[in-house]
């Protein structure tokens, strides 16, 4: 079952070839075997998971099953889940038990899916390598000396190593797409507002978006069908008619116009990554698509714009963690101000502190106009570049990450080099567009390479069609890392 699609698993459950309890136990056993080395999960609770599996088996027996009923799904530890420890990868929340469910969790619960556990992540989703987690770095299953990407690195590793059937992630500047690329899986960031942010611990509210991570585009479509939907508790949630994101999967690609931004193939892109991406575009030509050269002139400014706006929003969002109502509180302090200072100093890691300080600075009197306001103006120019580009093409393609997975610790002392890992993904978040990454080959050291597909607003079904047709013609998405000690079939 480990290499089966979600639809195949669903059919097996309905056909009583396997029960949800048996399937859940299979993954729990696999987690017990490999998680100690990979560190993909922060929290696993077999009692809760198996209880949900038994309830799913009852739904299946009564004929009340939905497509994801009984399927074990891992949840990024940024989503509040009632009765589950929800840490956001931070000491600040290391013992926080959520009293309520995030909207995404509720959607999966209503679908009868099984919560398999909470996956590791960069602290408060701040990072590109999953090395900032209070609970330790996650290892890439293709090479355990390398990073899985971040911040959804635990999710990416869990999916790639078959420690779950599929999983959720969040993407603020590339945190679904970049780890998906580095771990050889598929991941999708929807249009901003398509998936509710209620109960998702906030990093940068105007950029954060939840999305699915799985083996294939077909699997992503089933997950997004469950995750998407209006939620009145989230002021940024979009009220739109429900749609079937799998509706166009079989549509041929004849006449598809693929925009290739010249800025994505400039200095800084690894030759091995470029070769794999260009081979994928050649494959698309065979499928009937045509290449259109385009330009995104302001995309080069996405990194500085992002690292003004995102820290500014983080500075505001993380002010709630003060040691008073919940979360970590310093054991010793003299007065209220001292408690605030020590709790935050001890509860937050170095990267979180760095971004809070930057954010507070750019929002301060005398610097707001020079930095924050200017960044917002450039953000509008970046979004306008995409509007103009989509007049010439249907989708945009390029590399997801400039390199394959780098070594653990390699960029830890150079934050700027770490930030550049997201150079091709950040502009999509700034514009609020949907973007996804799918496997398209292997580069140096036999590490996966990701192809990024960017669509126009609300074009998720089209993007999934484009990705699915490629995956029907290639097998990169079906490759999996060899984990010693357990069969991979």
CA-CA distance, 381 to 6, in Å (whole number)? 40
Strand partners, 212: 168
Mean predicted confidence (pLDDT) in 358-384 = 95
Q: What is the pLDDT of residue 484?
A: 62
CATH number at residue 13: 3.90.1300.10
Q: What is the pLDDT of residue 176?
A: 98
Look at residue 310 and tell me if it is in a domain: no
Look at residue 174 and tell me if it is in a domain: yes
Q: What is the pLDDT of residue 183?
A: 98
Q: What is the pLDDT of residue 356?
A: 96
pLDDT over threshold 60, residue 487: no
Percentage of the chain with pLDDT > 90? 94
Is residue 439 within 8 Å of residue 186, measured between CB atoms?
A: yes
Q: Nearest CA to 403 among 448, 467, 453, 454?
A: 448
Is residue 23 within 8 Å of residue 53, measured between CB atoms?
A: yes
Q: What is the pLDDT of residues 228-259, one digit of tens each?
A: 999 999 999 999 999 999 999 999 999 999 99
Q: Which domain holds residue 159?
A: 6-251+469-478
pLDDT over threshold 70, residue 309: yes
Mean predicted confidence (pLDDT) in 414-425 = 89
Look at residue 244 and tell me if it is in a domain: yes
Mean pLDDT of the chain: 96
- Pairing, β 395-399 against β 448-455: antiparallel
Residue 245's Cβ-side half-sphere holds a number of Cα atoms within 13 Å equal to 28
Torsion angle of alpha carbons 163, 164, 167, 173, nearest 10°?
10
- Mention every residue, 6+ apart, whose C-beta is less than 8 A from residue 94: 87, 134, 328
Q: What is the pLDDT of residue 419?
A: 87
Is residue 34 within 8 Å of residue 161, measured between CB atoms?
A: yes
Q: What is the pLDDT of residues 183-223, one digit of tens each?
A: 999 999 999 999 999 999 999 999 999 999 999 999 999 99
Three-point CA angle 73, 61, 218, nearest 5°: 35
SS (HEC) of the chain: CCCCCHHHHHHHHHCCCCCHHHHHHHHHHHHHHHHHHHCCEEECCHHHHHHHHHHHHHHHHCCCCCCCCCCEEEEECCECCCCCECCCCCHHHCCCECCCCCHHHHHHHHCCCEEEEEECCCHHHCCCCCCCCCCCCCCECCECCECCCCCCHHHHHHHHCCCCCEEEEEECCCCCHHHHHHHCCEEEECCCCCCCCCCECCCCCCCCEEEEEECCHHHHHHHHHHHCCCCCCCCCCCCCCCCCCCCCCCCCCCCCEEEEEHHHHCCCCCHHHHHHHHHHHHHHHHCCCEEEEECCHHHHHHHHHHHHHHHHHHHHHHHHCCCCCCCCCCCCCCCHHHHHHHHHHHHCCHHHHHHHHHHHHHHCCCCHHHHHHHHHHHHHHHHHHHHHHCCCCCEEEEECCCCCCCECCCCCCCHHHHHHHHCCCHHHHHHCCCEEEEEEEECHHHCEEEEEEEECCCCHHHHHHHHHHHHHHCCHHHCCCCCCCCCCC
Mean predicted confidence (pLDDT) in 132-151 = 97
Look at residue 110 and tell me if it is in a domain: yes
Q: What is the pLDDT of residues 262-289, one digit of tens each?
A: 999 998 999 999 999 999 999 999 999 9
Mean predicted confidence (pLDDT) in 74-103 = 97
Q: What is the pLDDT of residue 98?
A: 96
- Give the other-Cβ count within 10 Å of 392's Cβ: 13
Look at residue 12 and tell me if it is in a domain: yes
Q: Nearest CA to 129 among 183, 73, 79?
A: 183
Q: Hey, CA dihedral for 325, 326, 331, 333, is it positive or negative? A: negative
Q: What is the pLDDT of residue 489?
A: 40
Is residue 205 within 8 Å of residue 152, measured between CB atoms?
A: no
Number of domain units in the chain: 1
Look at residue 132 and tell me if it is in a domain: yes
Is residue 124 within 8 Å of residue 89, measured between CB atoms?
A: yes
Mean predicted confidence (pLDDT) in 53-79 = 97
Look at residue 278 and tell me if it is in a domain: no
Looking at the chain, how many residues does it have? Answer: 489
Read off the pLDDT band of 383 (50, 70, 90): very high
Place of tokens 């399937």: 23
Place of tokens 């009937």: 288
Tokens at residue 445, please? Answer: 């050291």
Q: What is the pLDDT of residues 285-294, one digit of tens each?
A: 999 999 999 9
pLDDT over threshold 60, residue 488: no
Is residue 292 within 8 Å of residue 430, measured between CB atoms?
A: no
pLDDT over threshold 50, residue 486: no
CA-CA distance, 200 to 221, in Å (whole number)? 21
CA-CA distance, 105 to 199, in Å (whole number)? 9
Top pLDDT among 413 and 471 is at: 471
- Its pTM stands at 0.96
Look at residue 261 and tell me if it is in a domain: no
**Using only C-alpha atoms, what is the Rg of the chain?**
21
Read off the pLDDT band of 384 (50, 70, 90): very high
pLDDT over threshold 60, residue 151: yes
Q: What is the pLDDT of residue 417?
A: 85
Q: Hey, CA dihedral for 185, 244, 385, 200, is it positive or negative? A: negative
Residues with a catalytic annotation lie at 76, 151, 175
Place of tokens 């499928």: 287
């Amino acid at each position: 079952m480990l290499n089966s699609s979600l639809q195949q698993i669903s059919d097996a459950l309905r056909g009583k070839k396997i029960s949800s309890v048996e399937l859940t136990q299979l993954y729990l056993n696999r987690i017990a075997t490999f998680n100690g080395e990979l560190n993909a999960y922060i929290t696993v609770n077999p009692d809760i998971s198996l209880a949900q599996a038994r309830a799913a088996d009852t739904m299946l027996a009564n004929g009340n099953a939905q497509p994801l009923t009984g399927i074990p799904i891992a949840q990024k530890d940024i989503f509040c889940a009632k009765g589950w420890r929800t840490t956001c990868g931070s000491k600040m929340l290391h013992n926080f038990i959520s009293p309520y469910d995030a909207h995404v969790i509720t959607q999966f619960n209503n679908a009868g899916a099984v919560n398999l556990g909470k996956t590791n992540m960069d602290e408060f989703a701040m990072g590109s390598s999953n090395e900032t987690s209070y609970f330790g770095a996650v290892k890439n299953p293709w090479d355990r000396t390398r990073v899985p990407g971040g911040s959804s690195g635990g999710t990416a590793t869990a999916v790639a190593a078959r420690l779950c059937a599929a999983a959720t992630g969040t993407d603020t500047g590339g945190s679904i797409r970049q780890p998906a690329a580095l771990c050889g899986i598929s991941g999708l960031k929807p249009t901003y507002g398509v998936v509710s942010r209620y109960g998702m611990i906030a990093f940068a509210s105007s950029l954060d978006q939840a999305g699915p991570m799985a083996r294939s585009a077909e699997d992503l479509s089933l997950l997004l069908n469950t995750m998407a939907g209006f939620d009145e508790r989230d002021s940024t949630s979009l009220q739109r008619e429900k749609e079937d994101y799998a509706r166009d999967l079989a549509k041929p690609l004849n006449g598809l116009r693929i925009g290739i931004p010249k800025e994505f193939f400039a200095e800084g892109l690894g030759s091995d990554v470029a070769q794999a991406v260009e081979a994928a575009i050649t494959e698309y030509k065979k499928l009937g698509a045509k290449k259109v050269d385009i330009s995104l002139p302001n995309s080069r400014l996405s990194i500085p714009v992002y690292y003004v706006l995102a820290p500014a929003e983080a500075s505001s969002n993380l002010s709630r963690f003060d040691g008073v109502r919940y979360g970590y509180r310093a054991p010793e302090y003299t007065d209220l101000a001292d408690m605030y200072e020590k709790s935050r100093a001890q509860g937050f890691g170095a990267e979180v502190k760095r971004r809070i300080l930057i954010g507070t600075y750019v929002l301060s009197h005398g610097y707001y106009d020079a930095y924050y306001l200017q960044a917002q103006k450039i953000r509008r120019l970046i979004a306008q570049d995409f509007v103009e580009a989509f007049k010439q093409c249907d989708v945009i393609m390029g590399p997801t990450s400039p390199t394959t997975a780098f070594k653990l610790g390699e960029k830890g002392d150079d934050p700027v080099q770490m930030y550049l890992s997201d150079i091709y993904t950040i502009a999509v978040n700034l514009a609020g567009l949907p973007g996804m990454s799918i496997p398209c080959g292997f580069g140096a050291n036999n590490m996966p390479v990701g192809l990024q597909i960017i669509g126009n607003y609300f074009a998720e079904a089209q993007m999934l069609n484009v990705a699915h047709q490629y995956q029907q013609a290639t097998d990169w998405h079906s490759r999996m890392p060899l984990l010693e000690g357990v069969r991979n079939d």
